[in-house]
Structure 1
Amino acid sequence: MRPSKLSSHVDGGCGVAHDPASPVGPEPAIWLPEASPTTLILESAPTGFKIVDSINRDAFGHSLLEVSDADGRELVIADGSGELHVRLRDAQAARRPAVLVPLDGVGELRAEVALHFARRLAGQRSGLLPAALRLTSFQKRRLIQLLHAFDVHDLGGGPRDVAAKVLASDHAKRRSVEWKDSHARRKANRLIHDSIALVERGYLKLLRGL
């Protein structure tokens, strides 16, 4: 259910990276700007600045989603380098765009994302995301493996189950003595440990390019 008012990302005593006022579905996740440097915060530029370009959505590529709430409007745009989230905090932000770059430990990444954004506005071809925020093929395979391991563990499976179902290792069928000293057992235990850490807020490091 959608809350009657916007919830804080720290309500309830723990941080929530996904906007709690945003319904869950097959659409792209709406990440809170403070959790993800891929979410650009746009405000109306102060008076006195001559703004050359307004927001032209056609310049960015495929638009996946547009959501409006009490804090403004968010666009999710995609190209071959990933998804860019643009948070427009007021109605004038699209006409007189100015990017807010908080210096929060990932300020350089935020500034780099903003630079890619400015190049797109100027009609230059540039990937939406810097390399640090793009998942490599290896990282994608590893994350799929970790999520598979977490599902097996969450359903009550142990290291043998993870070795059999995730690693496809025949060591899972060996006798206890052989299994205890096997490489597959050690790897399965690491997968379980790392998968739990990933699900319990470890994914935030991925959002922040860490």
Structure 2
Amino acid sequence: MDPRLAAGDAEVIWLPSLDPRLVQLVGDTSGLAVITTSDLPVHQVRRADEGAYAKLGLPTGASIALAPADLPADAPLMALVPLDASAPTRLEALAHFWRILLGQSSGPPPGDISPSRRERLAMALRAVDGRQASATRREIAEVIFGPDAVPDGVAFDDHHLRSRTSRLIRDGLAMIAGGYRKLLKP
């Protein structure tokens, strides 16, 4: 990841052990494969110690695959699917990858975060930012929900937005403490 980029512009690629949606490719040992590395419709490649990460498909429905660094350019490919708790998600990711290879409509990536969930996660992080800047719950609620939605005085103490703001702060702190990794799991 390029540290000069804004967070929203940075492309984050996770290790296969953390993101079950990443398709792991290896050289074919069965003799059955018909797709080679040169057949992949790759848009971006990022090289790393563990291999080459290739992004395939449209930006909104892309699939990311990891191939070993020493794989020849015309090597026939197989996908590696570990049989772990994330195997169903890995298989969905492989089907998504396959549809991209065939030029079919691939739809959204498996396990993609819904727009409403994405909005709530952003609000939780904004709430934590406010708390770390020593803002009160009322001030945080006014920024997130708008000043007109937050009641004046003691009416805020029993208002649902105070509870909602507290939950956002709690959930944001949990994400910062490593809970963000749960977003990658099914």
Query: How high is the TM-score relative to the length of structure 2?
Result: 0.83
Corresponding position: 1:141 with 2:123: no
Q: 1:112 matched to which residue of 2?
A: 92
Residue 109 (structure 1) shift: 0.7
Q: Structure 2 CA distance, aligned partners of 1:112 and 1:182?
A: 42
Tell me the SS of whatever aligns to 1:166: helix
Residue 80 (structure 1) shift: 6.0
Q: 1:73 to 1:80 in 2, by over 3 A?
A: closer
Q: 2:20 matched to which residue of 1?
A: 37
Tell me the SS of whatever aligns to 1:42: strand
Q: Structure 2 CA distance, aligned partners of 1:128 and 1:45?
A: 28
Residue 206 (structure 1) shift: 1.6
Residue 34 (structure 1) shift: 0.6
Q: 1:167 to 1:86 in 2, by over 3 A?
A: same
Q: Structure 1 CA distance, aligned partners of 2:108 and 2:22?
A: 11
Query: How high is the TM-score relative to the length of structure 1?
Result: 0.74
Q: 2:46 matched to which residue of 1?
A: 67
Q: 2:31 matched to which residue of 1?
A: 49
Q: 1:126 matched to which residue of 2?
A: 106
Larger RCO (alpha carbons 8 Å, 6+ apart): 2
* Identity within the alignment, %: 27
Corresponding position: 1:187 with 2:169: no
User: What is the CA RMSD across the aligned residues, in angstroms?
Assistant: 2.4
Q: Deviations over 1:60-79 (max 9, x none)?
A: 6xx2x421122211112352
More displaced, 150-159 or 86-95? 86-95
Residue 110 (structure 1) shift: 0.2
Aligned pairs, how many?
Answer: 180
Q: 1:12 matched to which residue of 2?
A: none
Corresponding letter in the other structure for 1:83: A
Unaligned runs of 5+ in 2: none
Q: 2:129 matched to which residue of 1?
A: 151
Q: 1:148 to 1:49 in 2, by over 3 A?
A: same
Equivalent residues of 2:46, 2:52 under 8 A apart: yes
Q: Deviations over 1:108-158 (max 9, x none)?
A: 11011112222332343323623xx12222112212212211211122223
